[in-house]
Amino acid sequence: MLTEQFVRTCPNIRYVLEHQRGLLYCRHRGVKESRSNNILVFIDDDIIAEKNYLETILNTFEEHNDIVLVGGKVLPDFETYPPYWIKAFETQREGTYILSFLSLIDLGENANHIRCDFVFGCSFSIKKDALVHCGGFNPDSFPLDMLKYRGDGETGLCYKLERQGYKAFYNPWTVIRHKVPSSRLTIEYFCKRAYMEGVSWSFTGIRKIGRTSSYITTELYFLFYIFALVPFGLYKVGLRSISLFPVYYKVMLNFFKGYRFHRMEVLKDPGLLSYVLKDTFMTLP
Q: Is residue 232 part of a domain?
A: yes
Measured CA to CA, the distance from residue 27 to residue 23 in angstroms comes to: 6
What single letter denotes the amino acid at residue 17? L
Per the DSSP assignment, residues forming a β-bridge with 112 are 170
The pLDDT of residue 279 is above 80: yes
Cβ atoms of 275 and 149 closer than 8 Å: yes
Question: pLDDT over 70 for what percent of the chain?
Answer: 99
β-pairing verdict for 91-93 and 168-180: unpaired
Average pLDDT of span 156-176: 98
Rounded to an integer, the average pLDDT of 90-114 is 96
- Which long-range contacts does 78-85 make (Cβ < 8 Å, 24+ apart)? 78/180, 78/185, 79/179, 79/180, 79/181, 79/182, 79/185, 80/182, 80/185, 82/180, 82/185, 83/185, 84/244, 85/187, 85/244, 85/247, 85/248
Query: For residue 140, what are the CA distances in angstroms to 28, 186, 223?
Result: 12, 22, 27
Predicted TM-score (pTM) of the model is 0.94
Cα 12 from Cα 28, distance rounded (Å): 20
- Mode of pairing for the β-strands spanning 69-78 and 168-180: parallel
Cα–Cα distance measured from residue 215 to residue 222, given in angstroms and rounded to the nearest whole number: 11
Instruction: Establish if 57 belongs to a structural domain.
Output: yes
Answer whether residue 283 is part of any domain: no
Q: Residue range 14-35: average pLDDT?
A: 93
| 285 is a domain residue | no
Report pLDDT for 259.
97
Count the domains in the chain. 1
- 8 Å CB contact between 140 and 153: yes
pLDDT value for 1? 67
Reply yes or no on whether the pLDDT at 152 is more than 90.
yes
Q: What are the residue ranges of helices labelled H in the chain?
A: 2-9, 23-33, 53-63, 128-133, 153-163, 187-209, 215-237, 245-268, 270-276
The range of the structural domain enclosing residue 147 comes to: 2-276
pLDDT tens-place string over residues 61-89: 999 999 999 999 999 999 999 999 999 99
User: % helix / strand / coil in the chain, to the nearest 5?
Assistant: 55, 15, 30
CATH classification of the domain holding 168: 3.90.550
Tell me, yes or no, whether 138 lies in a domain: yes
